[in-house]
Structure formats: structure tokens, C-alpha cells
Amino acid sequence: MRSYLILGMCALFIIQYFAQVQWLQYVVFIMALLAFIGSAVNADRFPRLLGILMMTTGLIMEWSKGTGFGGVNQGIFLILPLICLITLAPLLSIPLKTGGYFEAVSSLLHRFLHQPRKLYAGMTGTLFFLSPILNLASVRILNEFIEELKLPSAMSAKGYLVGFTTALTWSPYFASVSLVLHYLNVPFSEYILYGLGLSIMLLVVGNLLFALWEKRNPIDYEASSGGTIDRQHQNRLVKLGLFVILLMSICLTIEKLTSWSMIVIVCLISVTVPVVNALKPVNRKKMRPLLIDFRDRTVPIMNNEITLFMSAGMLAFALQGTSFANKVSSLLTGLANESFFLFAGAVLLIVLSITYIGIHQIAVIGALAMQLKAEELGMTDISLVMLLLLTWVLSAALSPFSGLNLMISRFSGISGFRLGINTNGLHLSIIAIIGIAFISFIA
């Protein structure tokens, strides 16, 4: 029942986006509140408590500002596109599963078992291509591929984190990119090349550091190579790469031809791709159990995400325009006028301190994105977007309470507190330095 409520909310939100009917907006708002309550009740203990705290604080702050119901409605509606995105994006995995693309990826990784550096490059490269459209599901799928290989915990932890975080800087299917671009009103088409550049930098630095780490910590396998990849798997790997490129091209084209929000475009594509795939009768039988699984398992287990995202979004909106937010904005503006590096360091310190104790990035980075104005800071919109997304990457990797950190910790057996600082601390420090230096040139 809750799945139908959430999916119905997403469908009506998209209709409302184009129809702009006032009564329908109220219906979607009520459904969103019911979805939050249902998700909060079923969420894990910490996300439930944190979500209720952030939502309550946001509602009280918004009400105290005198905006009343209208302000709360606006705050919820501002985060709803993101809720629809995380709900509908997993539909894109269905065509990939029915097409046998995951088996091709597994075959490639097994072939490099006795070559740790190539295997690591294969792991991070796979996540580089899969994460932009599958989000955290890509880490879960990759872990299923290589779980039987019994890799060292540190290697798995490094590979999962490095590969996944590359998508946080450029994929429109991610909350990070969609949220920051949405709040700063920057078209995805203007940002994508910068985001890809930042993403490739993360990938290259991660692989170079692993090569140095592996040199000091040799990994020896008695197993031999998995042999060559058959032509069918080779073709599927090529098609997988083309599939990702095609999706991004469609997103850019639609954004260029219309004035639609990129988040809405991504939601529409996430629904359309499985529908088109189902036009072939041979695919329908394969898709049926996957669609049922999406309805009965994938959507219901998003309790933590919906609870945290909606409450953090409400809190971020409520913070906008408050005396506290204005003081922080004035402080950061003053630092930016003195030095870009002082400003960047202050943003990093603020975000990392708040997210490390469990507050979601959406709350703090969303509040900064709504409060800060690039022209007042003496920098370009693109450079502000890149700085906020680099900060998002670092906070997601360091916070022991982030979804990424918790999942990698479970798969690798390394605690969330050690995962960010001990296992990947050097990598994160280097990309912070290189990233900030690169952004300063375009600021």
C-alpha cells in the first residue's frame, strides 16, 4: 500500500509540474506528508530520530517566520523532485538486468583476478559507468560480482568509495548534482563538462594512489586469469557504455529544447526507458518479476532515504532567510572577498563538521546553495556548484552515518569511522587540495 502511495505521489507531482493546478498541488502535498510519516515509522532508529528532529525543527522555524501553511507547502514541494528522482531512477536497472549486461561486467572483473591494479581499475571503472544511473545499487551489484573473490577489505573499501564518488560530481540522476544545480539555477548542459572533468580527476587520483598502496601491500593470488571475454560479453560491455552516453545525450537534448527541470527530465526518462524496453514481447516476461520486485521491495526499503531527504530538505528551506543563515552567509561572503581559499576552507569545515555527526548533506549544502549568491562572492556559478559538489563528495565519504559509508562498511567489514579517515583519508585529502586548486582557476 505504501508503495502505491509513494509511486502515486511521484506520478501526480510530474503531472502537477506540467499542469500547474492548485488543488492538485495540495493533493500531492498531503500525499508527501503521509509518505514521510509512513517512511519515518518504518525507518531505522537513527534515521527516524534524526528525520523527525529535522522535520520538526524545519516546521517550527518556517511557522515562526510567519509563512504558515504556504511556507511549509513550498518547502516540501522544493524537495519533492529529489524524492521522485531517488524513487524512479532504480527503474533504469531493469533493462540492464534483462539484457545480460551485468553478467558481462562480472566476466570482465573475473578476468583480472590475478592482476590487482587492473582489477581495481575495472572495479572503479564499472562504478564510473554504472553509478550515474543506478546510484547505490551499483555498489551492491558490484559487491555481488566480486564477493566470491575474497578481496582484501582495504581494496574493496577503496575501490567502492573511489568508483562511486565519481558520479556524485556530474550525474543528473544523483541528488547531489540535481539539488545543487536546481537551487543555483544552473543548466546541466553548461555544467556537465566541468563535472566530468572533476569526476575523471577523482578516478585517476584514486587509481594512482591504489597503485602506490598495492606496491607497499602486494596482493598475490594463486588463481590464474579468467581467460578472454567472449564476443557476446564484449558487445554487451560496448552497449552498456553507449547506453549511458545515450541517456546523458537525451537529457541534454531535452533540456536544450525545453525549459523543463533536469530532475523532471530524468524522472520521465527513468519511466520511459523500461516502457520502451517492454515493447519487445520477449522482454515482458523477464521484466515482470523485476517490476514486482521494484514495487514490493525497492520502493518500500527507501524508508531511510525518504525520511532523511524530505526532512533535510524542509530544514534547509526553513533556514533560508533566518538571522543565523544570514550571519553565516555574511561571514562566508567576507571570506570570499578576502581569499577564495579561505572561503573554500570555511565551506569545507562547516559542511564536514555538520555532516560528520549525522546531519544529511541536503540540509547543510542545500541551505548554502539557497543562501549564497555567486556574484556576491565574486565567483562564477559554475565554480560555486563545483565547490559544493566537491564538498558533498568529501562529506559523503567521511561521515560514518552517510548511506555510502554505511553500505561500504557492511560489505568490507571496516567500520564507518575508520573507512573515511584511515582507509581513504589520503585520497580524500589529495582530491580536496587538487579540486580546490582547480576550482580557483575558474572562480
Q: Which three cell numbers stand for residue 240?
A: 552498456
Q: Distance between CA 230 and CA 32 in Å, rounded? A: 48
Q: Which three cell numbers stand for residue 363?
A: 540540509
Q: What percent of the chain has pLDDT over 70?
A: 98
pLDDT at 222 over 70: no
pLDDT of residue 221: 55
For residue 186, give Cα distances in angstroms to 190, 262, 284.
Answer: 7, 10, 39
What's the pLDDT band for 406 if we cut at 50, 70, 90?
confident
Express the helix, strand and coil content of the chain in percent, nearest 5 each: 85, 0, 15
Residue reference for cell 554505511: 406
- How many residues does the structure list for the chain? 443
Most confident of 10-14, 109-113, 281-285, 356-360: 10-14
* Residue 122, CA atoms < 13 Å, CB-side half-sphere: 21
pLDDT at 351 over 60: yes
Question: 396, 401, 403: which is closest to 424 by C-alpha?
Answer: 396
pLDDT at 229 over 70: no
CB-based contacts of 174, cutoff 8 Å, min separation 6:
132, 135, 167, 168
pLDDT of residue 224: 45
User: What does the angle CA 342 – CA 348 – CA 350 come to, to the nearest 5 degrees?
Assistant: 100
**Per-residue pLDDT averaged across 348-352, rounded?**
94
Q: Which three cell numbers stand for residue 181?
A: 544545480
Provide the b/e sequence for 325-344 (b: ≥16 CB within 10 Å): beebbeebbebbeeebeebb
pLDDT of residue 167: 92
What's the pLDDT band for 79 if we cut at 50, 70, 90?
confident
User: Which of 119-128, 201-210, 234-243, 340-349 has the weakest average pLDDT?
Assistant: 234-243
User: Which of 51-55, 229-233, 255-259 has the weakest average pLDDT?
Assistant: 229-233
CA dihedral angle for residue 81, residue 165, residue 189, residue 21, rounded to 10 degrees: 0
pLDDT of residue 86: 84
**Per-residue pLDDT averaged across 299-314, rounded?**
87
What's the pLDDT band for 391 if we cut at 50, 70, 90?
very high
User: Which of 99-108, 324-333, 409-418 has the weakest average pLDDT?
Assistant: 99-108
Q: Which three cell numbers stand for residue 297?
A: 521491495
In whole numbers, what is the pLDDT of the chain averaged over residues? 87
pLDDT of residue 228: 63
Q: Which three cell numbers stand for residue 229?
A: 571475454
Which residue ranges make up each domain of the chain? 158-219+320-443
- Kindly give the residue spans of alpha helices, DSSP state H, lying in 258-302: 262-277, 281-293
Q: Distance between CA 270 and CA 134 in Å, rounded? A: 11
> Coil, strand, or helix at residue 284?
helix
Q: Distance between CA 155 and CA 23 in Å, rounded? A: 53
**Per-residue pLDDT averaged across 381-395, rounded?**
95
Q: Is the dihedral of CA 39, 44, 49, 50 positive or negative?
A: negative
Q: Which three cell numbers stand for residue 121?
A: 581499475
pLDDT at 76 over 50: yes
DSSP string, 326-342: HHHHHHHHHHHHH-HHH
Question: 38, 44, 31: which is closest to 80 by C-alpha?
Answer: 31
pLDDT at 149 over 80: no
User: Which of 187-201, 285-299, 370-384, 425-439 has the weakest average pLDDT?
Assistant: 285-299
Q: Which is higher by pLDDT, 124 or 107?
A: 124
DSSP string, 122-159: HHHHHHHHHHHHHTTHHHHHHHHHHGGG---HHHHHHH
pLDDT at 220 over 80: no
- Kindly give the residue spans of alpha helices, DSSP state H, lying in 43-115: 45-64, 68-88, 93-98, 101-111
pLDDT of residue 223: 47
pLDDT of residue 227: 55
